[in-house]
């Protein structure tokens, strides 16, 4: 995948070049590209006061940063205690079957990324799936797969 480094340059120009801007720059790059590619880190280092190792350290320290491409939609299946008791394993299996990918993978068209997470903080709705910023609760396998069907049909915009 070729990265448009002009987009990275524009972010640096807008956010700033000193070391205090590392997190905002990486956040902006991730917002723009949906992840922080190594090429972007190299370009940021070349055009700011920060080194590649400093930027890589920040990007790997914070869980919010992704160093691999993610799908247009992020599907997170909660596996916290309440969700686990409520059937999170089955929800993950249903999502894997519906999307045709395993946990942690992207669909080949990069429309979806599926991942298990420790807790999304909605225990009263367990079991829970989040798609982007929208939460779906009190799910079973069928309802979980239906979320993707609805998204594909243009219903239930999850953003």
- The residue ranking higher by pLDDT, 129 or 154, is 129
pLDDT digits (tens, 9 = 90+) for 25-70: 999 999 999 899 999 999 999 999 999 999 999 999 998 999 999 9
Q: pLDDT value at position 2?
A: 85
- Strands, E assignment, 4-141: 73-78, 112-117, 129-131, 134-136
Q: Look at phi and psi of residue 113 and say left if phi exceeds 0, alpha if psi is from -120 to 50, else beta.
A: beta
| Model pTM score | 0.76
Interval 121-141: pLDDT, tens: 999 999 999 999 999 999 999
Cβ atoms within 10 Å, residue 109: 8
């Amino acid at each position: 995948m070729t990265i448009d480094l002009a987009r990275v340059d524009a972010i640096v120009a807008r956010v700033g070049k000193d070391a205090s801007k590392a997190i905002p720059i990486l956040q902006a790059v991730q917002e723009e590209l949906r992840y922080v590619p190594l090429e972007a880190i190299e370009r940021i280092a070349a055009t700011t006061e920060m080194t590649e190792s400093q930027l890589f350290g920040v990007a790997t320290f914070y869980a919010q940063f992704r160093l691999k491409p993610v799908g247009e939609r992020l599907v997170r299946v909660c596996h916290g205690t309440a969700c686990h008791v409520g059937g999170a394993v089955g929800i993950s299996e249903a999502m894997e079957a519906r999307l045709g990918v395993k946990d942690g993978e992207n669909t080949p068209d990069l429309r979806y990324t599926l991942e298990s997470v420790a807790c999304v903080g909605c225990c009263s709705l367990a079991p829970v799936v989040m798609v982007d910023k929208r939460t779906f609760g009190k799910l079973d396998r069928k309802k979980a797969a239906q979320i993707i069907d609805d998204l594909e049909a243009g219903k239930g915009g999850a953003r």
